[in-house]
Amino acid sequence: MNGATRPDVAVLVGRFQPFHNAHLALLRRALAVAPQAIVVIGSAHQARTPKNPFTWTERAEMIRLALTDDERARVRFLPVRDYYDQARWLRVVSAEIDALTGGHHVNVALVGHLKDATSEYLRGFAGWPFVPVERLPGAGGTELRDTLFAAEPDRLDATLAALVDQAPASTLEFVRAWAGLPFIATLRREWQMLVAYHAAWRGTPYPPVFVTVDAVVHCAGHVLLIRRGAPPGEGLYAVPGGFIDLRETAYQSALRELAEETHLALLGDTMQRCLQATAVFDHPDRSLRGRTITHAHFFDLGDRELPEVRGGDDARSAEWLPIDAVLALEDRFHDDHFHMLDHFLQLTSEGLVR
Domain of 309, CATH number, reads: 3.90.79.10
Do 215 and 339 fall into the same domain?
yes
Domain with 66 in it: 9-138
> What was the pLDDT predicted at 137?
72
Residue 354 has pLDDT above 70, yes or no: no
Query: For residue 14, which of 4, 25, 3 has the smallest C-alpha distance?
Result: 25
Task: Report pLDDT digits (tens) over 120-130.
Answer: 777 888 888 98
Are residues 134 and 218 located together in one domain of the fold? no
The pLDDT assigned to 105 comes to 77
Please state the pTM of the whole predicted model. Answer: 0.91
Q: How many structural domains comprise the chain?
A: 2
Residues 107, 15 share a domain: yes
Are 339 and 220 within one domain? yes
Q: What is the pLDDT of residues 178-189, one digit of tens each?
A: 999 988 999 999
pLDDT of residue 5: 79
Residue 228 sits in the same domain as residue 130: no
Looking at the fold, whether 92 and 218 belong to one and the same domain comes out as no
Q: Per the domain annotation, does 162 fall within a domain?
A: no
pLDDT of residue 48: 97
Q: Could you tell me the pLDDT band of residue 134, with boundaries at 50, 70 and 90?
A: confident
Q: How confident is the model at residue 4 (pLDDT cuts 50, 70, 90)?
A: low
Give, as one character, the DSSP assignment of residue 332.
Answer: G
Q: What is the CATH number of the domain that holds 89?
A: 3.40.50.620
- The residue from 89, 115, 138 where one domain ends is 138
194 belongs to a structural domain: no
Interval 321-331 mean pLDDT: 96
Residue 154 domain-assigned (yes or no): no
Look at residue 4 and tell me if it is in a domain: no
Point out the domain boundary residue: 106, 138, 170: 138
Residue 282 clears pLDDT 60, i.e. is over it: yes
Same domain? 133 vs 216? no
Examine the domain organization and report whether 22 and 115 are in the same domain: yes
Separation of alpha carbons 165 and 161, rounded Å: 9
Residues 312 and 232 in one domain: yes
The better pLDDT of the pair 38, 137 is held by 38
Per-chain mean pLDDT for the chain: 92
Quickly state the pLDDT bin for 353 (edges 50, 70, 90).
very low
Assess if residue 104 is contained within a domain. Answer: yes
DSSP one-letter code for 293: E
Give the pLDDT mean for 189-216: 95
**Co-location of 35 and 134 in the same domain:** yes
Q: C-alpha angle with apex 175: 174 to 177, nearest 5 degrees?
A: 70
pLDDT of the residue at 267: 82
Whole-number percent of the chain with pLDDT over 70: 96
Mean pLDDT over 236-252 rounds to 97
CA separation (Å) from 114 to 51, 69, 91, 107? 20, 29, 20, 22
Domain endpoint, select from 138, 167, 184: 138
pLDDT at 85 over 60: yes
What is the average pLDDT across 133-158? Answer: 87
**144 found inside a domain:** no
Q: Where does the pLDDT of residue 164 fall: very low under 50, low under 70, confident under 90, or very high at 90 and above?
A: very high
Q: What pLDDT score does 283 carry?
A: 95
Considering only 9-13, 131-135, 165-169, 245-249, which range has the smallest mean pLDDT?
Answer: 131-135
The answer to whether residues 49 and 42 touch, using CB atoms and an 8 Å cutoff, is no
Residue 189 forms part of a structural domain = no
Does any domain span residue 224? yes
